[in-house]
Structure 1
Amino acid sequence: SRGAFTVKMGPPVVARRWSADTVKTAIADPAARRLGEVTATADEPGAAEIAERLRAMGWQRTEPGGEDGFAAGQPRYVFQVPFAGRSLEEIHRGLNQQWRRNIKKADKAGVQVVRGGYDDLPAFYELYAETAERDRFIPRPLPYFQRMWTSLTAEDPDRMRLYLARHEGDVLAAATMLTVGSHVWYSYGASTGRKREVQPNNAIQWRMMTDAHALGAAVYDFRGITDTLDESDHLVGLLRFKAGAGGEAAEYLGEWDLPINRLLHKALDVYMARR
């Protein structure tokens, strides 16, 4: 009645999983080009049936909008660390040697990770804008994060958290963490190119993982990873970083559209393809 012409959704249904070791091996294999082409460690039962039921009801799966595997909406490939039934010590042992070394190095260097608030969002954004330029993506504006904070913390003061990694008065890294039920997401991250040797990124992630475990999280979700395994792609470094935390890569069923007005739905597809 309000003129909607398409319904979109991203079902939280995992289709396949790859262990961290499988991902690491695939990155090192010159013949492996995309994660989706690598034999999965586990295929989730029922996912294919759900996809067929959606198609039978008229839903259409949309493909990622870019060659790097990231869509305009929710990522199809993510990296997750299972927490359920595991102690913090077990999770720490699941980190690779480089992660554990970097966490210890940050602590020895005096990196302090603290929780921030709404007034610290500009400091986060300054690093986020620097990260966007370095990693070649278009940043969201500061008011986006301010609205996110206001909206989510109005639901629950702990729904969204901001963490800052400081060293000798300098903010070197910052990240947001979202919590819904027992699922915790590392949502947005940012860092400067300065003082990388004190390892602020590992320090901030370990603090967030520690706090997530204390909250009773069943899973710590690093969110989107690239589908490409090409070593020359700058996003492979992000995949390698996340895989170092242990856990597993997961492929969701992806995003699905249900066209209500097929003409307008097609027109939007054409517009988005040309934009």
Structure 2
Amino acid sequence: MKPILQTAIWAEFQRGLGKTVHEAEGPGWSFLAVEEKTPLGMYLYAPYGPCADGEPELAEALRALSALARSVRAHYVRVEPVAAGLGADAATVLTAKGLVRAPADVQPHLSWKVDLREEEAELLKGMRSTSRNLYRNIHKKGVSFEISTDPADLPILLGFLAKVSGRADFTAQTDTYLTKAAEVLMPAGAAKLFIARLDGTPIAAALSYDTADTRVYAHAAADDAHRKLSAGIPLLVTMMLDAKAAGMAEFDMWGVSPEDEPDHAWAGFSRFKRSFGGAGVEYPGTWDLPVNRLMYNAYGFTRKSRTLLRGALKTARATAGSVREKLQKP
């Protein structure tokens, strides 16, 4: 299954944002790669790509990406081969091909997916009982659900996201980014907006990204004034069952935290995602293929220097604060 981030419509969306995007394919492989600029130059980024039928096809895709990088003077290629069939041997295979682990993952390397090929009754049975009951009964409280493919409805979600960003440790995509996504993807059938309404007034909304076989739970937020209704739960169930009715095979909850890290920043909404049934999926993560080794090493040195400087400044501020506190004591 080709991820939404590796599709032609995603390339069109990225170009709409002003990005330079390259697409190529060969027997058993394909990629979408975006030019990304840094103070030291440019690199190519293939989000959740390249796609390949297996290891030999992946090797061809990497060769094509390297050649492209040299032609556009990119210093390295950043890849996330989630659809290459590497399995548990991913790190060994990628290291053998000259790739190195990126300093941090760009896209999540852990996801949570629900198999939509099950019967509806089984899907509902796999959820937490409170989720099932909310979905079945929330209409009694005056809540209804609407599905929109009109980009003009996106401000409903943007308003909720702005409020969430303002009150929590959460950073939403910019309005410009999401507006362009809606303008490009929704008319093409690659995105839908789901809206929960209380007596006609929007109280929650979620945007999905869709391919022929997968729906991605991309962006969601709710009105805090109605949080006791928990409308986001039946809204998500509505998204899942609509995807099933459309013939999709899986519902991708997107990123989750490791289950054995209860203090992880994502732990709360990861528990929420896991409460709908499904199973975890682990990807190879983000890897770099250096093309200009000198410049790639310079990039790494600069990044480490910045990290050390930030750490030193943080320590200095803490020390200064401690000294001031002691001086102020009688």
Normalising by structure 1, we get a TM-score of 0.77
CA shift in 2, pair 1:139/1:272, >3 Å = farther
Residue 254 (structure 2) aligns with: 223
Out of 40, 52, 55, the position equivalent to 2:92 is 52
SS of equivalent residue, structure 2 residue 247: coil
Residue 125 (structure 1) aligns with: 158
1:106·1:199 contact (CA, 8 Å) conserved in 2? no
The structure with more radius of gyration: 2
1:235 and 1:53 map into 2 onto residues whose CA distance is: 29
The alignment status of 1:244 with 2:275, answered yes or no, reads yes
SS of equivalent residue, structure 1 residue 194: helix
Residue deviations 1:108-162 (CA, integer Å, cap 9, x gap): 21211112321111221110122223331222211101111223246x2x11111
The alignment status of 1:100 with 2:132, answered yes or no, reads yes
Which structure has more relative contact order (CA 8 Å, sep 6+)? It is 1
Q: CA deviation at 1:250?
A: 1.6
Residue 110 (structure 2) aligns with: 77
2:137 and 2:263 map into 1 onto residues whose CA distance is: 28
Q: CA deviation at 1:259?
A: 1.0
Residue deviations 1:3-41 (CA, integer Å, cap 9, x gap): 111111211259xxxxxxxxxxxxxxxxxxxxxxxxxxx
CA shift in 2, pair 1:226/1:160, >3 Å = same
1:122 and 1:270 map into 2 onto residues whose CA distance is: 42
2:158 and 2:114 map into 1 onto residues whose CA distance is: 27
Q: CA deviation at 1:104?
A: 3.0
What is the alpha-carbon root mean square deviation over aligned residues?
Answer: 2.3
1:157-176 correspondence runs (5 A) = 158-176=189-207
Out of 141, 144, 148, the position equivalent to 1:109 is 141
Out of 123, 128, 134, the position equivalent to 1:91 is 123
1:8 and 1:246 map into 2 onto residues whose CA distance is: 32
SS of equivalent residue, structure 2 residue 170: coil
**Count of equivalent residues:** 235
1:13·1:47 contact (CA, 8 Å) conserved in 2? no
2:157·2:206 contact (CA, 8 Å) conserved in 1? yes
The alignment status of 1:210 with 2:210, answered yes or no, reads no
1:228 and 1:134 map into 2 onto residues whose CA distance is: 26
1:6-17 correspondence runs (5 A) = 6-13=76-83
SS of equivalent residue, structure 2 residue 248: coil
Task: Give the aligned residue type for 1:103.
Answer: Y
Out of 135, 139, 142, the position equivalent to 2:168 is 135
Q: Sequence identity, in percent?
A: 27
2:289 and 2:263 map into 1 onto residues whose CA distance is: 37
Q: CA deviation at 1:270?
A: 4.7
Q: CA deviation at 1:61?
A: 2.3
1:13·1:253 contact (CA, 8 Å) conserved in 2? no
Q: CA deviation at 1:267?
A: 3.6
1:91 and 1:46 map into 2 onto residues whose CA distance is: 29
2:301 and 2:87 map into 1 onto residues whose CA distance is: 29
Residue 191 (structure 1) aligns with: 222
Task: Give the aligned residue type for 2:75.
Answer: F
**Gaps spanning 5+ residues in structure 2: where?**
1-70, 308-330
